[in-house]
Copies of this chain bind each other. A is one copy, B any other.
Amino acid sequence: MIKCVVEVSARHIHLSQADFVKLFGPTAELSEKNKLSIKTDFATPYTVTLVNGDKKLEGVRVIGPFRPRTQIEISLTDARHMDVEPHIRLSGELSGTPGVTVSGDFGKTCLREGVIVAQRHLHIGMESANKLGLRAGMIVNLVVGGERGALLKNIMVRLATVDQPTVHVDTDEANAIGLPAGGSGEILIK
């Protein structure tokens, strides 16, 4: 078993440059508010509101840098609240997913697709992965202790620039395993 960090991904949005301009205007810049453990990503000072009919989710954080396509990551609890059909997907796999309207300080954009519930996954550096015989796309398990101790299956391995092996779960998963503020666990390779 390999020790890992467990981080909670709160609902967030990755924007294409075109959608960013629609939402925050032509003079806005995608600046950095704080760094994230995945060193290629950063939190920005911007938030958006997601709208689906009369349902809303406010304060959804914009994560940089720009992506080729806008992608929204929410939990199953959020999906039920927003009345959108949940699709559990890996980042980037947006085909056939539902859309919502996204509203920013300057304007809005109506997405035809792009809303996913992220499949839980392990970010691991290339060197650590090689040592452990892990490759991108492999499936591992996460073991956590405590009063809501659990073993979560189907954790997808992804290569990333991280200091430590880091599992990303959503807020539902974090609550279910009693780590609403994140914590640590162990990776069990099958």
Give A contacts to B, CB under 8 Å: 75-77, 80, 86, 88, 119-120, 147-154, 169, 171-173, 175-178, 180
Contact = CB atoms under 8 A, between A and B. Distances in A.
A175 B178 contact: no
Contacts of A171: 77, 172
Contacts of A153: 148-151
Lowest 5 CB-CB distances: which A-B pairs, in order? Answer: A176-B176, A76-B175, A172-B175, A149-B153, A151-B151
A54 B20 CA distance: 32
B150 A152 contact: yes
15 contacts: A76-B175, A76-B178, A76-B180, A77-B77, A88-B147, A119-B147, A120-B148, A148-B153, A150-B151, A151-B151, A151-B153, A152-B176, A172-B175, A172-B176, A173-B176
A147 B154 contact: yes
Nearest to A179: B76
Contact of A88 (B75, B148, B169): B148
Contacts of A147: 88, 119, 154
Contacts of A76: 175, 178, 180
Contacts of A86: 180
Contact of A176 (B80, B119, B149, B177): B177
Given A150-B153, A152-B176, A171-B172, 12 more contacts: A75-B175, A76-B180, A80-B180, A86-B180, A148-B153, A148-B154, A149-B153, A149-B154, A151-B151, A151-B153, A173-B175, A173-B176
